[in-house]
Amino acid sequence: MITVALAKGALLKDSVARFASAGLDFSQVLDPSNRHLMVPSKCRRARALLVRNGDVPVYVAYGQAQLGVVGFDVLKEHQMPVASLVDLGFGNCHMAVAVKATSGYKNATDLPPHSRVASKFTNCAREFFDELDLPVELVHLTGSVELGPLTGVAEAIVDLVATGRTLKDNGLVSIDEIFHSTARLIGNPLSLRLDSGEIQQIIDEIRNQTDLHRTIK
């Protein structure tokens, strides 16, 4: 049986739709009354694990799931040994550096050396500031990082931005884009090597459906 790790939240509906195009019906996970975290597809040849976004590459890397869908931001932050297979094209957002709108900073290089920067994505932040050769003190937060500059815990934040509304509502502004992020289909490398063709067929169907979506747009 093929196991697929699906992320709860914003990526779930589109993820279910892409697997449906490959013949795997996981629509039960979209039922508001569903409380099961392991859900079989209606064809019974696969099952879905419903997990947090950050846990998807963990289940795939350790082989408990052969395939999964996760944001590129999570892949870049955690660097798990998984195969990135298809850019699915949904879940668009970007990783950004943001500050208080009244700060006067126009880009990340305006920040003073050794400024405090709050983020859930400290590895991504560290890589970005190292490339700028700008030393900063990273503050790891797991909740609303927008509070960092508002409370004085940090001068700036590094966080995912979709519409930018949350930043605006909290008096913050983006001053640098680090990278663009979309949902990615990932796979367990060993499972892919040992695959008799069933997993590859699912990958091909999803890739074809993704290409079709891009053509329509």
CA gap 159, 103 in Å, rounded: 18
Report the CATH fold assignment for 93-180: D-Maltodextrin-Binding Protein; domain 2 (3.40.190)
Q: Which helix (H) or strand (E) holds 46?
A: strand 46-51
Domain boundaries, the chain: 2-91+182-216, 93-180
pLDDT digits (tens, 9 = 90+) for 186-199: 999 999 999 999 99
Q: What CA dihedral angle connects 141, 146, 151 and 152, to 10 degrees?
A: 80
- Shortest CA distance to 175 belongs to which of 184, 185, 164, 183? 164
Dihedral sign for Cα atoms in the order 135, 136, 140, 146 = negative
Residue with tokens 């569903």: 34
pLDDT digits (tens, 9 = 90+) for 114-164: 999 999 999 999 999 999 999 999 999 998 999 999 999 999 999 999 999
pLDDT digits (tens, 9 = 90+) for 79-106: 999 999 999 999 999 999 999 999 999 9
Q: What is the CATH number of domain 2-91+182-216?
A: 3.40.190.10
